[in-house]
Amino acid sequence: MNNKYLILVNKNNPMPDEIKFNIVETDSKYAKDRPLEEKTFEAIKKFRNYAKENGYVIDIESGYRSKDYQQKVWDELESEKGLEYTKRFVAVPGYSEHQTGLAVDVVLYENGKWFEDQKLKGHPIVDFLKNNCYKFGFIIRYPEGKENITGYGWEPWHLRYIDDVDKAKYIMENNLCLEEYLGN
C-alpha cells in the first residue's frame, strides 16, 4: 500500500503487526493519556482550532489504544450494556482502528460540561464535523446508513485520519465509508 494512512482495520482486517505508527502524547483537556499517531495529533489540533473559530470546543475523548486497553474497553462495556450492544460499537481487540493511533473520538465542551459519544447525536456539532473534518484529512469513519458495510453503528464522533485532504473530501462528498473507497 502506497499510503499506510489508508490502512483498513475492521471486523475482518486485523491491525497488521508490520505497520507501526509513531504514537505521541496529546494535550487533551478532556482527560490524560489520550495518545495519537503524530500526524493525526497535528491535524486534530488544527481542526480543534478551526472548530473553536466556528464556535465549537472539541477535544480528544479517545485515541490510540493498545490491544490490552481495547480488551478492557470491551469487557467494561459488555458488563454494562451487554454483548449485542458491545458488538455494535466496540471492536474486538486486534481489530480496532484505535490500535493504529489514526482514530480520534471527539468530545464537545458546552455549557460548562463535556458531551461525549452518544450524547452528541442530534447536536449541530455533528453536521459541523461531517462538513469540515475532511479539510484536515479526516473522515467520519462510521457514517450513517453504512452500518451493514462497516459492521458498526453510526458514530459521528469517530474521526479517522487518512492524511490526504483530497481523498478525504472525495469520501465525504460521495457519502462513502472507507471500505467502499478501498473496494473492500
Kindly report the pTM of this predicted structure. Answer: 0.92
Catalytically annotated residues: 155
Rounded alpha-carbon distances, angstroms, from residue 167 to 98, 138, 139, 153: 21, 9, 9, 23
Angle at 167 between CA 163 and CA 168, to 5 degrees: 70
**Does 76 lie in the same domain as 156?**
no
Give the Cβ contact number of residue 80 at 10 Å.
9
pLDDT for 1 equals 47
Which CATH number goes with the domain that contains 144?
A: 3.30.1380.10
Residue 172 lies in a domain: yes
Domain boundary among the residues 78, 99, 120 is at: 99
CB 151 within 8 A of CB 11: yes
Rounded to whole angstroms, the maximal C-alpha distance in the chain is 44
In a domain, 85, yes or no: yes
Cβ atoms of 35 and 24 closer than 8 Å: yes
Q: Identify the domain boundary among 49, 74, 99.
A: 99
Confidence band (pLDDT; 50, 70, 90) for 112?
Answer: confident
Higher-confidence residue: 21 or 119?
21
- Same domain for 88 and 167, yes or no, is no
- Helix, coil or strand: residue 155: strand
Predicted confidence (pLDDT) per residue in 88-97, tens digit: 888 899 999 9
If asked whether residues 136 and 171 sit together in one domain, one would say: yes
**Per-residue pLDDT, 167:** 97
Same domain membership, residue 39 and residue 76: no
Q: Judging by beta carbons within 10 Å of its beta carbon (0-12, 13-18, 19+), is residue 29 exposed, middle or buried?
A: middle
Q: Into how many domains does the chain fold?
A: 2
- Give yes or no: residues 92 and 160 share one domain: no
Secondary structure, 3-state, 5-57: HHCCCECCECCCCCCCCCEECCCCCCCCCCCEEHHHHHHHHHHHHHHHHCCCE
Residue 2 pLDDT: 62
Spatial contact of 26 and 36, defined as CB atoms under 8 Å apart: yes
The predicted model gives 114-139 an average pLDDT of 89
Which structural domain range is residue 136 located in? Answer: 34-64+105-184
pLDDT in tens, 140-176: 999 999 999 999 889 999 999 999 999 999 999 999 9
Q: If DSSP codes are grouped into helix, strand and coil, which group holds residue 108?
A: strand
Summarize pLDDT for 2-26 with one digit per residue, the tens.
689 999 999 999 999 888 899 999 9
> In degrees, to the nearest 5, what angle opens at C-alpha 33 toward C-alphas 74 and 172?
70
Is 21 inside a domain boundary? no
Co-location of 159 and 88 in the same domain? no
pLDDT in tens, 52-85: 999 999 999 999 999 999 999 999 999 999 999 9
Residues 94 and 58 in one domain: no
